[in-house]
Amino acid sequence: MNKSRLFIITLLLSVCSIVFAQEDLYLEKVTILSRHNVRAPLDSYLSTLEEMTANRHHWTRWSVPGSNLTLKGGALETLFGEYFRLWLEKEQFELDSLASVGQVYFGASSKQRTIATARSFAAGLIPLKTIDVDFKRKENGDVGFLDPDYLPLLNDNSYSDGEFDIAAFKAEAYRELGDLQAPSYTFLEKILGMKRSSYARKHGTQHFDNHIGVCLDFHDKDGNPLEPTMRGGLKDANMASDAFILQYYEMNNPRDAAFGHRLCFNDWKRLAYIKDYYGEILFTAPIISVNISHCMLKRIQSEMASRGHKFALFCSHDSMITAVLAALRVVPYELPNTIESQTPIGCKLVLEQWGETSGSNPKRYVRVRLVYQSSDQIRGMRQMDLDNPPMSFDLCFTGLEKMPNGMYDYDDFMHHLQNSIEAYNATAIGRHPFLRF
């Protein structure tokens, strides 16, 4: 038998064994960490955005206040929920009955855009029931509570073995960050028409500066926890990149979204890359990612354990998904069919738990993937079903071996997750969190 024929037969047998193995499984639990869907630019961006553009360019007039979920964003989430309902029904996962007995949980960051996203997704997922979304409020009853479970807040409160050494943490963080290099801003500056902007006049330059400064203050003057923040040109460039992405998703005409420029898909990816790079710097250094995702990792662990809900969704932000994946040591990836290559708007980190239906000692597995709407599905508000699904990308993690069925052994994954949670203690003494792995 020649080698090519033998290879084909071996490949077919392998595929058949994987298909058979997956048919012999049932879906036990689903835990999801979601990013909110399309929103208006953040309030803090609005005045700076106006300064950046030439006089003839004008940002879109949003139908909602700054930072809020748009009507389109809500509709996209309902479509997303409808698709997940079809998929779960196919897997004989009884959502309605589970919701009736308290086995469905929805939680969200204390922001309008995340609460509204969770509610919209729930409306599509379980349309015949009203699902409560759990979130924290400030003392006066307003949203905006600084919840460490959902926000990438620098955390010195979870260390029980002594005093958290902030100085040592910062020293290791800056060592890991190294000598930061600015991306090229030339294309973004051209689309903005920045050389004719008030920003250029105010700063005495037609360009974003190349300085990148990361600030790792744990608390403000009132003792409130803080996120990692950035100084320099990349901070302002990120504002513009983010605003362009949101216009691209929200507006019918992509040329209008780009101030009259005809941009191809790869051009939009070039604009979005700046925002991706901004998030990579702020949230993926090992000691930072493990520290700021600690509370969310514990929430995920709690839900994936035997006493957790059968279905749980946490609605948060791209920064938290980025940090969680980095803390779990995700293998670098680039998502297809989206201008945001890491954590697209509305994307879902889906952790599925599967069990064998037969055998004297049935095994359990975990599948981890990112499910997201392609840029075309977002712009066109495309209906999704089992024949026209959203994008799905299976993730791999350093230190974890997949089983022949393409999933992870449940105990192996939970041990890996526990390691990332325990690695927080290394951040408290300024050590690289993964040195022992």
Q: Quick one: tokens of 130?
A: 């009203």
Cα–Cα distance between 312 and 169 in angstroms, integer? 33
- pTM score over 0.85: yes
pLDDT digits (tens, 9 = 90+) for 73-130: 999 999 999 999 999 999 999 999 999 999 999 999 999 999 999 999 999 999 999 9
- What is the model's pLDDT at position 21? 45
**Buried b or exposed e, range 366-375, using 16+ CB within 10 angstroms:** bbbebbbbbb
Percent of all residues in the chain with a pLDDT value above 70, rounded to a whole number: 95
Tell me the CATH number of domain 22-428, given options 3.40.50.300, 3.40.50.720, 3.40.50.2000, 3.40.50.1240: 3.40.50.1240
Residues 6+ apart with CB under 8 A from 21: 404, 405
**pLDDT digit string (tens) for 160-198?**
999 999 999 999 999 999 999 999 999 999 999 999 999
Per-chain mean pLDDT for the chain: 94
CA distances from 292 to 58, 318, 329, 418, 436 (A): 36, 13, 14, 15, 20
Q: According to the model, what pLDDT value does residue 22 have? A: 54
13 pLDDT exceeds 80? no
DSSP, collapsed to helix, strand or coil, labels residue 356 as strand
What tokens does 94 get? 């009884």
Reply yes or no on whether the pLDDT at 332 is more than 60.
Answer: yes
pLDDT tens for residues 287-309?
999 999 999 999 999 999 999 99
